[in-house]
Structure 1
């Protein structure tokens, strides 16, 4: 117990702005590269558009609208990217980048062997989400759909007996993507929930092409990560064969060479057995 006449500084630790910035810089340096850039840009664009209300980044110029993208006079190509980096207004400005970083970083550090594999997953899912929302749903804000795709992939490789908390609700991990869509249905509308559901379709199609089709049906692996994409994230001297980051879990490293699965995270699945509801997600040795 501190003496009665001791100054407050002797009781409470000092928290200076310099220390806060130092801690934040340490967090950024240790965060996975794809997750850091993706979530950081999403937060910056959403904050600038909805809170700061900067005219140059008005949501009208950032959302997905196919006629403006494929306009032969003045094509707005940037919408292909920014439509995945702009949230809804209100609390979504904070919550969307938070959940995006959470599931993206979990996938990058524990579900994929290398950061380049996650980037290919994001590009593939983004392409499918764009197709579905161009020809079927006409969705314009696609960040929530990508977040759901990452959550779906993460839950597909988790232990099916594990439980998670979403706000104050406790339930089995396999229901997480569906709970996210239900929350959107209650808080927003049916259209927003359907747009978010396109992320599940995209992620499951990736799982089908990288696991179900090659492992169960004996088909060929059709999704591969080009070496130049791996080169974007690896330091000189990193092994191209192993490519295991320091932050990856031991289970990921242990399963890397198994089955010649390549570099798309396919070796995280058990090499045999039947497919039951998006995979069992058992790690080697469990």
Structure 2
């Protein structure tokens, strides 16, 4: 039991928190503790009836236990962890800002698109940001396709289309990821560019450890478990 707890605590804080929230939400639905109708994104219920929890819960439900849930959770966990351990290492507050930006972007888009759960789109956003920051990693999808990491979100969207899913979900995630990537990684490096997304001080105070301090339970994901060259693009 202690080993399981130790392994759990080694997961970076945001990845740990988000994946745990998704698992607990799905478990609560599976056990009929709550209904999906209490969780989904509905602007009228949110802004008129003040059911504000829906702004969060609609990002935490991938459907009941099954292939779709497993597929999304694996991608969510692995790429969220990879981002937090690499691009955002020591910058948890910036990672929090990315979550907030993505959530706000998709919530605004959700006002104009008929979508009840935004969790899959959020996962695609995470995958997109990771893929653009790791452009030279080669991926292998189901042993059928080999491609560079930046193509991964598009491969996932094509796969979703072949499964008969509505690709607007993936398109929204790609759009959110691209806007974030442009504002954070591209525009500041342009002539006369500047950083648009500035992390508020309260997020830095809340999430960033003081210099020289590190979570004693933290251990990075082993090199052999990191994405690149694995089936499924994992």
TM-score, reference length from structure 2: 0.84
CA contact (8 A) 1:155 1:176 kept: yes
Of 99, 107, 132, the residue aligned with 1:130 is: 107
Correspondent of 1:81 among 53, 56, 60: 56
Question: What is the SS of the residue equivalent to 2:78?
Answer: helix
Q: Which has the higher contact order (CA 8 A, sep 6+)?
A: 2
Moved over 4 A (4+): 242-249
Larger Rg: 1
Distance 1:247 1:219, change over 3 A: farther
User: Quick check: 1:43–1:94 contact (8 Å CA) kept in 2?
Assistant: no
Cα distance, 1:99 vs. partner? 1.6
Calculate the aligned-residue CA RMSD, in Å: 2.2
Query: Residue 153 in 1 paired to residue 152 in 2?
Result: no
- Which residue number corresponds to residue 62 of structure 1? 39
Corresponding residue to 1:52 among 31, 37, 40 = 31
Q: Post-superposition shift, 1:170? A: 4.0
Summarize the Cα distance change of 1:169–1:243 in structure 2 as closer, same or farther, 3 Å threshold. farther
The TM-score, its normalising length taken from structure 1, stands at 0.69
Question: What's the counterpart of residue 17 of structure 2?
Answer: 37
2:5 is equivalent to residue 25 of structure 1 = yes
1:133 deviates by 1.9
Contact 1:64 1:141 survives alignment (8 Å): yes
Q: Provide closer, same or farther for how the CA distance between residues 67 and 120 of structure 1 changes in structure 2, counting only shifts above 3 A.
A: same
Tell me by how many angstroms 1:228 deviates. Answer: 2.1
Distance 1:37 1:64, change over 3 A: same
Give unmatched runs, 5+ long, in structure 1.
1-20, 250-286
